[in-house]
Chains A and B, each alone.
Chain A
Amino acid sequence: MNTIYKYAILICTTVMLFAAGPAAKCADVITIVKAGAEKASIDLTGLVTGDSRAGAEFKKTLEGDLERSGWFKIAQRGLAGTIVSGVCRESDTSIGVSCAVTDIGGKILLSTSYSGQVEQTRKLAHRAADDILRAVKGVRGMASSRLAIVGTGTGRKEIYTCDSDGKNLLRVTDDGAIGIMPSWNATADGLFFTSFRAGFPYIYSLDLRSSPYAPKQITRFPGLNASPSLSPDGRSLAMALSKDGNPDIYVMDLRSGSLSRVTRTRNAAEASPSWSPDGKKLVFTSDSTGRPHLYIADRNGGEARRLTFRGSENVAPDWGRNGVIAYSSLRQGLYRICMMDPATGEDKAVQLTNDQENYEDPSWAPDGRHIACARSAGSGSDIYVLDSMDGSFIRLFNAKGNWYSPAWSPK
C-alpha cells in the first residue's frame, strides 16, 4: 500500500512540476484553523422546567444544540453574558415553552414561545436553538436541519436520515439492493439517490412525508445513472451518466426532462457534481489527467478549469452556500478533508483533518460552519461532524453497521 501511494505521489508531483506551471506549487501547506470566533457564555438555569419531563427534554436538547453550534459555551448561573429565562409547561399531550434571551445589560434579544405535541419536543428545542443563535450572534444555525446517510444496518446499503444531533435515526429506503449517494431536495422534505433496485443504477426521488415507501424513478438511461445534485433554484438536477459511451456530467431540467451535457471527456471518468451558490457553475471530479482532481465548468458546458493540483487525488466536492468548496484530498496516503474558496484557489486551501484516519465525502451544514463526513478506521466507517472554525470534531451517532456519504439538508 505504501509503495503504491509513494508512486502515486511521485507521479502527481512530477505532473505538478512540469505540467501545471506557475499555477501550482509543490510544497504542501498544512494549515489547521484553531482560532475560531469567541464563544459566548450562555446561562440556561433561568429556564424553569418544574417536573415536566418534556420540559427537561426540551432544555437538555436546547443545551446540546447550543454547545454543538460552536458559538456558545454553557455557563453557570450568574457567570454568563447571555441569559435565557422562561417556563416550560406540559399538559397531557402538549408542551408550551415561553422564553426570553437577554444580554448582560438586560437588553432583550429574543422573546418568543414554542408549542406543540409532546412528541415534537426535540423539534421545538432545535427551533429555539436556531432562533437564539440568530438573535445573539446574527448567524444561521443547523439545529433544525437533518442529514441523509448511507448505512449498512440491514446488511445492505440503504438510505437513512437523522437529526443534526444524530438522534432520530430512521431508515427511509427499503430496496434490499444497493442504495447510495443521497442528496436533498430544495424544501428538505425529500431526497434524490441512486439505487440498484431495478438491477442497474438509476436515479430516484423520494418524498419523505409519504408512506408507504414509493420512490419515483427519475432516470433510466443505459449504463451509469448516478451522483444526483439539485441546483439551488430546485429546477435542475446535475448527474453523472454514461449513456453516450463514457461517464460524463449532465444537467436535467426536472420539469421537461430535457438533458444538457456539461462535459465531453473521452476516456475519462467524471463524478460528484455540486452547484455553485448562484447556480451558474458546477464543480466535479474528473480523472482526465490520469488521477481524479476537481474542475469547475459552466452549467452549460464549455471548457473546464482545473482547480486542484496538490495531493494525489481530490474528490467528492461540496460547494457550500458560503461559497467555499469542501472536498476530500488524498495526501500522504490518507484522505483529508480540505476546504477551498475557488476565488483564491488551492494556495489558500485549508486542510481540516490531520490524524491517521481517512475522512471522505464532506457535506456542508446549512450554518456554513460545520461539515459532515465519513471517517473510516479499519474496515468500519462512521459519520463525523467537523467544526471548520476551530478544527474540532465529534462522532454524530453510535449505531450498528457502517455509515457513509452524509448529505446535510439545505435547511
Chain B
Amino acid sequence: MTGKHSILTAVAVLCCASIVAGCNSGRGRTGDKQFSGTSINTQQDGDKPLGQQPTEFGIPVTGVSFENVLFEFDKASIRRSEYAKMDSVATYLKRNSKTRVVLDGYCDERGTAEYNLSLGERRSIAVRDYIVELGVMSDRVFTRSFGEEKPLNPEHNEAAWRENRRVEFSLYR
C-alpha cells in the first residue's frame, strides 16, 4: 500500500460512499480500498504474502533505536508525519544487510482484544509494505501484533492511548 493519501481516505470514503449509494450500485472504489454499503468484496488480490519467521532471530542489535510509528484510533493507514521514521529504518537496513527487523504492532486499550490483534497486525503490515517498497528484501522484515497487550503507557487517557497506538522496531543480527 502506498498510503500517502491516507489523511484524506476517511473523507474520500464518505464522499464516495454517498455517491455510490446515490447511484444505487452498491460499490465504489477509493484509492486502494473497496467500499460498499451492504457487502464487501472478498475477492481482492494484490497483497504481498509474509515470509515464514525463523525460530531464532539471532542477537538483538543494541545501540540503535528508532522512533515508533504512531497511528490514529482504529486506523492502520500511515500518517504523513510518520514516513521519515520508516525512511531512517529502511536506510539502516540497506546499510546493514545482515540485520533483520521485527515490526511489533500495538493498539490502545479501547475495543475488544480480538479485533485489536488484527488491527495491530495491519499496522505492522502497513509499515512492512512501505519498507519493502523502499527496497528492503521482504525476507528480512517480520510482522507481529500484540494488539492491546503490552501498552507502553499504562494510563487510561488520550495521551497514553496516542503513545500506545504504535509500531515498534526490533533489530536482530
Q: Which residues on A are within 8 Å of B, measured CB to CB?
A: 1, 4, 8, 11, 14-15, 17-21, 23, 150, 157, 178, 180-181, 194, 196, 199-201, 221-224, 226-227, 240, 242-247, 262-272, 285-292, 295, 297, 301-306, 313, 315-316, 328, 335, 360-361, 378-379, 404-405
Contacts and interface: CB of A to CB of B under 8 A. Distances in A.
B38 A266 contact: no
A33 B45 CA distance: 44
A199 B145 CA distance: 11
Given A11-B10, A243-B49, A316 B112 contact: yes
Give the interface centre of A223, A265, A285, A315 by most chain B CB atoms within 10 Å.
A223
State the 3 A-B residue pairs at the shortest beta-carbon distance, nearest first.
A245-B47, A18-B18, A19-B17
Contacts of A361: 112-114
B40 A271 contact: no
A178 B149 contact: yes
A376 B14 CA distance: 32
B47 A304 contact: no
A200 B144 contact: yes
11 contacts: A14-B14, A19-B20, A201-B117, A222-B53, A246-B122, A263-B42, A266-B47, A269-B119, A292-B115, A302-B43, A304-B42
Interface residues of B, number: 58
Contacts of A244: 47, 49-50
B145 to A, nearest CB: 6
Interface of B: 1, 9-10, 13-14, 17-18, 20-22, 24, 32-53, 73-74, 76, 111-115, 117-119, 121-122, 124-125, 142-146, 149-150, 156-158
B38 A247 contact: no
B45 A264 contact: yes
Nearest to B20: A19
A379 B37 CA distance: 36
B18 A313 contact: no
A285 B17 contact: no
B44 A224 contact: no
B36 to A, nearest CB: 8
Contacts of A4: 73, 158
